[in-house]
Amino acid sequence: MLPLEGVTVVSLEQAVAAPFATRQLADLGARVIKVERPSGDFARGYDTAVNGLSSHFVWINRSKESIALDLKDPGDQRVMDKLLAKADVFVQNLAPGAAARLGLGAERLRERDPRLIVCDLSGYGSSGPYEKKKAYDLLVQCETGLVSITGGEEPAKTGISTADIAGGMYAFSGVLSALYERERTGLGSAFEVSLFDALAEWMGFPYYYATYGGRAPRRSGARHAAIAPYGPFAAGDGTQVFLGVQNEREWVRFCEDVLQRPELAADPRFDANPKRVDNGAELQEAIESVFASMTGEEIETRLEEVGIANARMRSMAEFADHPQLAARDRWREVDSPAGPLRALLPPITVAGREPRMDPIPGIGSHTNKILEELDEPPRD
C-alpha cells in the first residue's frame, strides 16, 4: 500500500508549479484529478519534443486523471462542486483572484467542508504591491536576485524552472503536513505558497553573504562565489575536471597528494578559504600548471584516491545513460498518448515499495469515467 492511497486530490492546475506538486502526490498513491480547460493545460503546447508531446507536460503529469471542464459554464461548475465534495485536497494555481471569482476561494470551500485542505499557488502571494503581477519563472528568478548572481560575465537564468520547482516542492510538503495535521485534529486547513517566497527562501546564502559581508556573491559560472578551489579546471588533454575542496584538511591533501606541491598549502595567498577566493585567478593558474601535464582521467584517479570530490560534466545524452541510474535500476516505462516512454523513478525511495508510475493522460481522457462516478451524463 502506498502512503497516500485513499486520498483524492482535485487540482485546477496549469504550467509547472502545481502539476509538479500534484504529480509527487500521485507518486505516493493519491488519486489526482487534473481539471483542464477544454483546450487543455497550456503546458501541453510548450514543445513537441517527446514523440509529439511536450517535455514539461510528460515530466510532471503522469499518474493523473484528466477531466476537461469549462468552469464558466453552470453545468461544469456543478460538476466541479461535486468533485470537491469528494476531495481531500484542492490545489489551484490560476491567475490571482481567478479561483475566487469562480466560487473556488479557500474560505468558501472550507466553510462548506471543514475537512478540505486547500493549497493556493501564486506568483507573489495574496497581498502586497506585486499580488497581481505576472510571475513567469524567469521573472521570479529576476525579482529574487537569482539572475544577478548566476552566469559569468553576463547574468543568466538557471537552465531549469527553478522558481516553479521551488513553489511545487513547498506545495507538496505543505499538503503532506496538512494531511498529517488533519489526522490529529480532524480539520483541514488552507495555505498558500508563492513562487517568490519559495525562491526567496532558497536565496538565503547570497542574502546573508551580501547583507553582512558587504558585497554580493560575484557571478562565477560553474565556480563558487565563496569556496575555492571549486569548479572546472583544464587538464593537459583538453578535458575539464570539476572538483570541490570544502575544508582546510582537504586543501592540504589536495596540495600534497593531487598536485604534489605541498608548499602551496601554506602559501599566504592560499592558506585559508577566503584568501583562495580572493586570489582565484592565481589559484587557478597554480592548479592548472600542474594539471597541464596530466590527462583528465589521471587527475580524476588521483582525486578519487585521496577522497577529493569530483565530477564529470555530462551531456544530456550521457546523463540518460548514466551508470549510476542503470546500476540502481532507476528507469521505468510509462504509457502516454504517444506510446510508451522512459521515466525516472521519483527520488523518495522506500525499500520494497514500488512507486506509482501510471500513464500520462490526454486532454479530458477521464472525463466520462469521472462524470459517471458523479452521476452526471457523459459527453460526446
Q: Catalytic positions, please?
A: 224
pLDDT band, very low/low/confident/very high, at 224 (cuts 50, 70, 90):
confident
Separation CA 254–CA 286 (nearest Å):
12
Residue recorded with cell 488519486: 31
pLDDT tens digits, residue range 227-270?
Answer: 999 999 999 999 899 999 999 999 999 999 999 999 999 999 99
Name the amino acid, one letter, at 367.
T
Separation CA 337–CA 7 (nearest Å):
26
Separation CA 4–CA 180 (nearest Å):
11
Residue recorded with cell 516505462: 333
Give the chain's mean pLDDT. Answer: 95
Residue recorded with cell 467542508: 113
Domains of the chain: 8-203+325-373 (3.40.50.10540), 230-313 (3.30.1540.10)
pLDDT at residue number 104: 96
Q: What percent of the chain has pLDDT over 90?
A: 93
pLDDT tens digits, residue range 29-45?
Answer: 999 999 999 999 999 99
pTM, two decimals, is: 0.91
pLDDT tens digits, residue range 149-206?
Answer: 999 888 999 999 999 999 999 999 999 999 999 999 999 999 999 999 999 999 999 9
- φ, ψ dihedrals at 9, nearest 5°: -115, 125
